[in-house]
Structure 1
Amino acid sequence: MVSFVEQDPEVCAPRALLSTRAIRWSIGQLRREGATIQGLARQLGTTWNTLWTQVRPVLATAADDPVRFENVQVLGVDEHIWHHRDPRRRGPKELTGMVDLTRGPHPTARLLDLVPGRSGKAYRDWLDERGEGFRKRVEIATLDPFQGYKNAIDDQLEDATCVLDAFHIVKLAGAAVDDVRRRIQQETLGHRGRKGDPLYGIRHVLRAGRERLTSRQQTRLEAAFTAHPDHIAVEVAYRCAQDLRDVFHQPTPARGRQLAEKLIASLTTCPIPEIARLGKTLRRWKTAFLAYFDTDGASNGGTEAINGIIELGRRIVRGFRNFEHYRLRMLLITGGLDASPHTQL
């Protein structure tokens, strides 16, 4: 009777607690099926700690793989909140996320990294760590209207075109209309909006594009605008916001750019203070705003989509305590590790 032991690292690594196949299956379930570590551990007949101690090194190795950062030509940046506990115990609530928005190599946007803090320094330090080769390859950098990120782009990505996100431009205009409506509401009625107040009744209609309004909604708008002489300010603000929205729906980029330049020049002279403030903001961001029409409509939309996936992932597991665990899990579910062979995806 002869017995022997054979060690095959492709089947199970030395001193590993799970087989390579089990680890690969678990990573795939986390990546594509919205699974949790606890749920997978239950299916494998093991514990949370056992499964995570086997999965985490694979994800960490993939996260450190420089292959992930190759061929990034369009780079997006945005912030999000990863916990709601005391920052003194768990660190900063805000994280800065970098997203690859390059069209072609990957079918969708993919998260590149998460770093603590929402500041220009956090973004600048991350860009500096990537090296000159990475920074030279970035041709377009998209962002929300946050000056800290803009300063980091100007400092580290001198050759890249900075593009202000179109959605947030329209959002600024909508916020200006809301501010005008609330101010006029207080000045005319002396209280916040209530059911039956003309301006309060159209608060949602004011956010819709005018080309989408039904005849009934148009009638409601007209009735509210004419209910009081001071409501003319709300009507003017609404039309200015719609004109700003229209620049992104022109048949050609040249026509859109022309209308945008005209608005930037005229809004600052508006007697309505909220609209004049909007005009000053657009004038300050003029170069990044107009770059939208020179970059085939580059935007931060893919970055916002990645934020949505991150929010979903955090809700599924009902929160994280450890930032590094959070970073690895979010990189996995948002495709940030797909370019690395270590995850076997």
Structure 2
Amino acid sequence: MPEITVVNVERVADDNGKPGRPVHIERPQDWAACPDCGVVSTVVRQRRTTRPRDLPHGEEPIAVRWHKRQFACTERLCARKAFTESTAEIPPRARVTGRLCRAAARQVAAGRPVAAVGREHTMGRPLVHRHFAAHADADAVLAEPEPPEVPGIDETRRGRPKWITDEMSGKWVRTERFETNFVALSGTGALLGQAAGRTGRAVADWLSSRGPAWKEQVRIVVIDPAARYRTAIRQALPHAVLVVDHFHLVALANRALTAVRQRVTRQERGRRGRATDPEWANRRRPLRGREHLPERTFARMWNDPIDHEPAGQILTAWIAKEELRRLPACARERAPRSVISQRLFRFLCWCADSGVPELVTLAQTIDAWWPETLAFITTGVTNARTEGTNRLINDAARVAFGFRNRLFDLEGEGPGRGLTGESS
């Protein structure tokens, strides 16, 4: 450690018999400059011993003992009569060394939870988070990312919504817990930015703030089937091709199948499904793709709805789901346009002729999003990178769990100043 000399190292045992090593340190200079007037003083008033926590070293724990000296200021015009020597790594009133704080910040940056790092180094969570925020600000890339040709847009939620009192009006307002993420699907796949909320205005404002040159580079925009995003993108990027992610189309079919099963159970049994009901016990099997079902499992899945539900609505919904899955598969198969039109016609006719209200709604949704679905089939661009970025954002939120405020004031805080014990 700069400006520090090790005087002695002992090897002792604590009350439980565990070995430890007290390390006695001091400054080699017998003088110090007054922090107010800068006059050098060699008059020692008294000596003190502090115990700042430092990085662990070796197998046995170490305990730092800093023998500090308090000097008397010899300048008569100086208001400060005495001062205690300090170093850059151990500033005045510090209980933690600067290198321990930096090491804790690097561990949090590597993905470890703040609370776990604090417990390991006996540091309070606010102190660990404050130095992690300083570490992140120092490494933050302030340059604007290159405009991508294919951005992806999706939303994430940070906790549950809360109601707070507005300081200006005194009324109760609901805090925004959703964030819209913009990810570059072409190139490095980096996170371009975030906008508070999941409204169309938030998307339009963020895109408009990029500038005309940035927007002209965009050719394709990949989104989930959200009408608010589609309207905002058509206003901000009228020249871009909209693509809807195929994963969410299949998810719509699975939700429709689940809704049919739940409605049929309530109509036939007058209650919700139970573990003794065959349709409830095997509720996850119809959600799997046909190619992932063994023949025996498929035969059981096919026969059980026929035996227990004579109307066959659950089986009809399953067939509609499989017909819908064949549409996005055209992108992988590189099917011609005639095959795509034939599969779309079969799916829409099956849903319309079934008479099942959930399937009619599903067909209407697919028909309303057909231009974006066809764009996916022809381009093959997915929103997978955006979903992966959402997972990283959620992991970071879980690591930071326990902090109520998202902004921290870092001004005037030294390496070891502030809260060092229990979190406040």
Q: 1:98–1:26: structure 2 CA closer, same or farther, 3 Å change rule?
A: farther
Secondary structure, counterpart of 1:112 in structure 2: strand
- Residue 261 of structure 1 is matched in structure 2 by 344
Distance 1:174 1:57 in 2: 45
Q: Does 1:77 align with 2:153?
A: yes
Secondary structure, counterpart of 1:130 in structure 2: coil
* TM superposition score normalised by structure 2: 0.63
Distance 2:334 2:175 in 1: 47
* TM superposition score normalised by structure 1: 0.76
User: 1:244, 1:263 within 8 Å by CA — same for their partners in 2?
Assistant: no
Letter in 1 for 2:158: W
- Residue 133 of structure 1 is matched in structure 2 by 213
- Residue 236 of structure 2 is matched in structure 1 by 156
Q: How far off is 1:51 after superposition? A: 6.0
Distance 2:367 2:143 in 1: 39
User: 2:320, 2:347 within 8 Å by CA — same for their partners in 1?
Assistant: no
Q: After superposition, give the CA deviation of every residue in 1:101-128 in whole Å (9 maximum; x if it has no partner).
A: 11xx32xx33222222121111111111
Q: How far off is 1:207 after superposition? A: 0.3
When structure 1 is superposed on structure 2, of 70-79 and 276-285 the one drifting more is: 70-79
- Residue 290 of structure 1 is matched in structure 2 by 374
Q: How far off is 1:323 after superposition? A: 3.8
Aligned ranges 1:113-124 → 2 under 5 Å: 113-124=193-204
Q: Which consecutive unaligned segments of at least 5 residues does structure 1 have?
A: 4-11, 326-345
Match of 1:239 among 273, 295, 319: 319
When structure 1 is superposed on structure 2, of 50-59 and 279-288 the one drifting more is: 50-59
When structure 1 is superposed on structure 2, of 310-319 and 111-120 the one drifting more is: 310-319
When structure 1 is superposed on structure 2, of 272-281 and 134-143 the one drifting more is: 134-143
- Residue 175 of structure 2 is matched in structure 1 by 91
Q: Does 1:311 align with 2:388?
A: no
- Residue 70 of structure 2 is matched in structure 1 by none
- Residue 7 of structure 2 is matched in structure 1 by none
Aligned ranges 1:181-192 → 2 under 5 Å: 181-192=261-272
Distance 1:189 1:50 in 2: 58
Distance 1:218 1:268 in 2: 22
Q: Identity of paired residues, percent?
A: 27
- Residue 216 of structure 1 is matched in structure 2 by 296
Letter in 2 for 1:91: T
Q: After superposition, give the CA deviation of every residue in 1:195-230 in whole Å (9 maximum; x if it has no partner).
A: 232322321111000111123312321321221453
Distance 2:289 2:283 in 1: 13
Letter in 2 for 1:83: G
Distance 1:263 1:60 in 2: 55
Distance 1:318 1:52 in 2: 11
Distance 2:335 2:104 in 1: 47
User: 1:202, 1:220 within 8 Å by CA — same for their partners in 2?
Assistant: no
Letter in 2 for 1:162: L
- Residue 185 of structure 2 is matched in structure 1 by 101
Letter in 1 for 2:383: N
Give the number of the structure with larger relative contact order, counting CA–CA contacts within 8 Å between residues 6 or more apart. Answer: 1
Letter in 1 for 2:279: L
Q: Which has the larger radius of gyration?
A: 2
User: 2:108, 2:132 within 8 Å by CA — same for their partners in 1?
Assistant: no
Q: How far off is 1:55 after superposition? A: 5.2
When structure 1 is superposed on structure 2, of 186-195 and 166-175 the one drifting more is: 186-195
Q: How far off is 1:285 after superposition? A: 0.9
- Residue 21 of structure 2 is matched in structure 1 by none
Distance 1:304 1:290 in 2: 21
When structure 1 is superposed on structure 2, of 53-62 and 184-193 the one drifting more is: 53-62
User: 1:97, 1:115 within 8 Å by CA — same for their partners in 2?
Assistant: yes
Distance 1:180 1:49 in 2: 50
